[in-house]
């Protein structure tokens, strides 16, 4: 479980996250939506300790993120909005292998995870290609493969469908559906629910850094336009 209690995050005078309480159960799929600047990215960056709370606390699997940073980063994998910033190696295979290598896994297991993760995002067989030769959508899929290779308990994706063409989008959605069925919790940050509403158990909408709505997708649909979120078609 990811648990957020009274979380406040400030950037100077800007209160980006304003006293948020939230719990995401194991195996749940939660959409975090809201207008630009409502605090979505800031909130989820606390889930694996990329930011420190100004007030309040975050725990993952019952352990404080601040006190158990390595455990949080092993349990929660993140894919960010600008995945090109997340690349760490020169080739596709080495990039996906980086996380599992840091977990200290043996070579066979690392190779297996690299193969499976690349296949999950339709990049199979491209281990030896240079990352700087990939298109924007391919880089995004590579970043998702890197997160999948960690076999995290919780996967957080910040605007994962931006820049993906239709086949790539379908393949990522299918993989997310499988992950959810396997018990991985998913947190998908978006301001447009059309892509992921069918997968979600809950929609959490932020407005001005606080939770303005927390409901099942069909219950939430009517209120979404008032909160500057495009409802699913
Ligand atoms: N590094 C930063 N320094 C200063 N202010 C920031 C920083 N990052 C975000 N902010 C501000 O904090 C608030 C919340 O930003 P955040 O990026 O978390 O929102 P968001 O909902 O993810 O927005 P978007 O949909 O545009 O990605 C905004 O007012 C933003 O301008």
The answer to the question of residue 144 being in a domain is yes
Measured by CA distance, the residue closest to atom 25 of ligand 1 is: 36
Query: Which has the closest alpha carbon to 93: 170, 140, 149, 35?
Result: 149
CATH code where residue 205 lies? 3.40.50.300
Check pocket membership of 42 for ligand 1, CB cut-off 6 A.
yes
Residue 112 lies inside a defined structural domain of this protein: no
Residue 124: inside a domain: no
Q: Determine, yes or no, domain membership for 233.
A: no
Calculate the dihedral angle through the C-alpha atoms of 155, 132, 113, 189, rounding to the nearest 10 degrees: 10
DSSP strands (E only) in 80-232:
154-158, 185-189, 202-207, 210-215
- The total domain count for the chain is 1
Would the CB of 36 count as within 6 Å of ligand 1?
yes
Q: Give the model confidence (pLDDT) of 167-225 as tens digits.
A: 878 877 888 888 888 889 999 998 777 778 888 999 999 999 999 999 998 888 888 88
User: Rounded to an integer, what distance in angstroms lies between the CA atom of residue 23 and that of residue 29?
Assistant: 12
CA atoms 133, 136, 142, 147: torsion sign? positive
ipTM of the complex: 0.98
Print the domain residue range for 10.
2-87+137-227
């Amino acid at each position: 479980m990811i648990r957020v209690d009274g979380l406040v995050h400030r950037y100077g005078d800007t209160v980006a996250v304003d006293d948020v309480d939230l719990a995401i159960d194991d195996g749940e799929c939660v959409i975090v939506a809201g207008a630009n600047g409502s605090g979505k990215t800031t909130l989820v960056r606390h889930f694996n300790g990329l930011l420190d709370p100004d007030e309040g606390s975050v725990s993952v699997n019952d352990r404080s993120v601040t006190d158990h940073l390595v455990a949080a980063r092993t349990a929660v994998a993140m894919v960010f909005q600008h995945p090109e910033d997340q690349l760490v190696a020169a080739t596709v295979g080495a990039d996906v292998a980086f996380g599992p290598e840091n977990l200290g896994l043996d070579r066979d297991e690392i190779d297996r995870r690299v193969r499976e993760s690349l296949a999950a995002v339709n990049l199979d067989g491209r281990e030896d290609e240079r990352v700087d030769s990939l298109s924007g959508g391919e880089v995004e899929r590579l970043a998702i493969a890197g997160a999948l290779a960690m076999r995290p308990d919780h996967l957080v994706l910040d605007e994962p469908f931006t820049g993906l063409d239709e086949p790539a989008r379908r393949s990522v959605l299918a993989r997310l559906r499988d992950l959810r069925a396997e018990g991985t919790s998913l947190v998908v940050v978006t301001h447009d629910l059309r892509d992921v509403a069918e997968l979600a158990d809950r929609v959490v909408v932020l407005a001005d850094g606080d939770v303005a709505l927390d409901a099942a997708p069909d219950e939430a649909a009517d209120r979404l336009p008032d909160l500057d979120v495009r409802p699913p078609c």
